[in-house]
């Protein structure tokens, strides 16, 4: 003959273990969703910054009267630093740095004929 008193206790332990496993599973899913969201924001920001840097670099390369020196401007929510310096007697070195606040997101450099 079965004793129902012991079965009820075992069922309660099973329910507690199942609840703990379900909570661990849901917390893992929540953590993964947060990581994916953070990575998506970062990649979107990087893509936007790359577009700004490329456009700025192309503007510098097409400018007729290029002056040496540094310029800072704000474009599409980013701080864009451009630097033009003489690399040789026939070349300029162009550098574009894109920052978001104090964090440098990316930097592009190229050479251009005078």
23: domain CATH number is: 3.30.1300.30
Given a cut of 90, whether residue 13 has pLDDT beyond it is no
**Domains of the chain: total:** 1
Given a cut of 80, whether residue 6 has pLDDT beyond it is no
Give the pTM.
0.71
DSSP string, 67-108: --EEEEEEETTEEEEEEEEE-SSSEEEEEEEEEETTEEEEEE
Domain coverage including residue 62: 4-113
Confidence of residue 14 (pLDDT cuts 50, 70, 90): confident
Given a cut of 70, whether residue 9 has pLDDT beyond it is no
What is the structure's pLDDT at 64?
Answer: 87
CB 102 within 8 A of CB 42: no
């Amino acid at each position: 003959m079965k004793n129902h008193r012991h079965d009820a206790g075992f069922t309660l332990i099973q329910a507690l273990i199942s609840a703990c496993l379900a909570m661990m599973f849901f917390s893992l899913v929540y953590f993964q969703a947060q990581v994916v969201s953070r990575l998506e924001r970062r990649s979107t920001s990087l893509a936007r910054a790359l577009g700004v840097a490329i456009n700025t670099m192309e503007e510098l390369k097409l400018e007729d009267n290029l002056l040496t020196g540094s310029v800072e401007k704000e474009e599409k929510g980013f701080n864009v630093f451009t630097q033009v310096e003489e690399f040789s007697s026939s070349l300029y070195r162009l550098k574009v740095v894109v920052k978001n606040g104090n964090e440098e997101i990316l930097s592009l450099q190229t050479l251009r004929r005078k």
